[in-house]
Amino acid sequence: MRQPQRRIQTPKTARRHRPDKQPAEQPEKTEEAVQNLNRLGQLTVPTPPPESDIHSIAIIGQIEGHLTLPPQNKTTKYEHVIPQLVAIEQNPNIKGLLVLLNTVGGDVEAGLAIAEMIDTVSKPTVSLVLGGGHSIGVPIAVSADYSFITETATMTIHPIRLSGMVIGVPQTYEYLDKMQDRVIKFVTKHSRISEEKFRQLMFCTDQLARDIGTVMVGKDAVEIGLIDEVGGLAQAVKKLRAMIEERQNGGVLH
Amino acid sequence: MLWTVMPLDVVLAGSDSYRPSYVEIRRGQAVLLVEATGGNAGRLIRVISSDPNDYLKPELQPGMNINLNG
């Protein structure tokens, strides 16, 4: 059922751009190609792609915070992502933000900082969880205006204080509990899941082999109210476009 | 404080012996923190700038190769 539906969507968007552009570009391109061949001995030279009004930020690997991680880690550097979000917010040519997540978690403070920034971007934001959006990836996933998860992606919710996942100075129970409360409050405020349910998933004892917590695959996360919809790239971009259009038609300026 | 599904010993492996040397160079109004990788070559670690647009520049993304002499 899904394959044919997708095929219908693609030509629709493609058709909109093609008819007026292609005839005009064709002779120009040929001329350019001949010039390149004469000058450089090659047919194509890299040309800058047209500027996109949608920007995407990939949150991958470990979210690196106050501690620089050794080089075997693939990291998302929050000190770079945060000013990027500032630039996206204030640049009038950027109409929307797509956040792609494939993260194993990371620094709580850095992750919450990114989540708060995405939440307070005034432009439409859509998140898409691919592969995994674990631990501190969960608040980032729900921070967007609308969230998607692919069918096969997983999200792990587990307590902060267990299984040696805490580093630094000896942490007191109260401090860890406070950190955990910050995350739980953020997630429950930005998704349909209740605090009670989220805590229940977090302290579930029969799901993970070496830890307590819950792994949710694709539609589990939607059914539980954490993520809005199961979908992939096409659905995420379509939703973002629809939100941008709605914003423009509604006359709400950012 | 890390909250991750990756085992901590995997995440932190080698952190004792990892001692990169960083140099600061100036590009326009931005200061770049670059890890020297030998000769004039370096890998961009961090951008320090008050212009948010600097952070969207493709040549100023962390991990990019940078010529230390500009």
Each residue of B9-62: pLDDT tens digit?
Answer: 888 888 888 888 899 999 888 999 999 888 889 999 999 999 999 999 999 999
Domain count, chain A: 2
Residue A174 in any domain: the answer is yes
Task: Find tokens 């000190």 and name the residue.
Answer: A79
Give the pLDDT confidence score for residue A25 in this predicted structure.
53
CB nearest A164 (choices: B8, B18, B46): B8
What is the predicted pLDDT for the residue at B7?
85
Its ipTM equals 0.85
What are the per-10-residue average pLDDT scores of chain A (254 residues)?
Answer: 48 47 58 73 66 92 89 91 95 95 93 96 96 94 96 93 52 79 95 94 82 90 96 96 91 52
Mutual angle of helices A108-119 and A78-90, in 10-degree steps:
10
pLDDT score at A208? 74
Determine which helix (DSSP H) or strand (DSSP E) holds A155, and give its type and residue range.
Answer: strand A154-157
Give me the pLDDT at residue A21, please. 47
Q: Which pLDDT does position A240 carry in this prediction?
A: 97
Q: Are residues A117 and A219 in the same domain?
A: yes
d(C-alpha A114, C-alpha A85), whole Å:
9
Of B5, B15, B52, the CB nearest to A135: B5
Residues of B with CB below 8 A from A164's CB?
A: 7-9
The SS3 of residue A165 is coil
DSSP state for residue A170 in the 8-state scheme: P
Residues of B in contact with A69 (CB under 8 A): 11-12, 15
At A126 the pLDDT is 97
When CB atoms are compared, the residue of B2, B5, B7 closest to A167 is B2
The reply to whether A251 falls in a domain is: no
Range of the domain at A201: 54-245
- Which helix (H) or strand (E) segment holds residue A199: the answer is helix A195-202
**A240 shares its domain with A216:** yes
Both tokens of A217, joined, read 């695959």
In a domain, A254, yes or no: no
pLDDT value for A83: 95
Coil/strand/helix, residue A148? strand
Spell out which residues of chain B touch residue A138, defining contact as CB-CB under 8 Å. none
Active-site positions of A?
135, 158
Closest C-alpha to B42, from B12, B68, B15: B68
By C-alpha distance, which of A80, A82, A195, A73 is closest to B4?
A: A73
DSSP3 helix / strand / coil % (chain B, rounded to 5): 15, 40, 40
Distance CA A101, CA A137 (A): 7
Q: Which residues of B touch A132 (CB under 8 A)?
A: 5
Measured between CA atoms, the residue of chain B closest to residue A62 is: B4
Q: Identify the pLDDT of residue A43.
A: 65
pTM for the structure as a whole: 0.78
- Residues in chain A whose Cβ is within 8 Å of chain B: 55, 62, 65, 67, 69-73, 77, 79-80, 83-84, 86-88, 90-91, 104-109, 111, 132, 134-136, 156, 158, 160, 164-168, 171, 179, 183
For A39, A222, B2, the CA distances from A217, given in Å and listed in that order, are 54, 9, 23
- The label of the residue with tokens 């030509």 reads A11
Are A61 and A35 in a shared domain?
no
For residue A152, give the CATH number of its domain: 3.90.226.10
Inter-chain residue contact A158 with B47, CB threshold 8 Å:
no
Residues A101 and A37 in one domain: no
- In this structure, is residue A252 part of a structural domain? no
Q: Are residues A72 and A29 in the same domain?
A: no
Cα–Cα dist A63/A78, whole Å: 7
Q: Between these two residues, B8 and A35, which has the higher pLDDT value?
A: B8
Question: Between chains, do A84 and B56 touch, taking CB under 8 Å as contact?
Answer: yes
Whole-number Å distance between alpha carbons of A159 and A171: 14
Mode of pairing for the β-strands spanning A146-149 and A154-157: unpaired
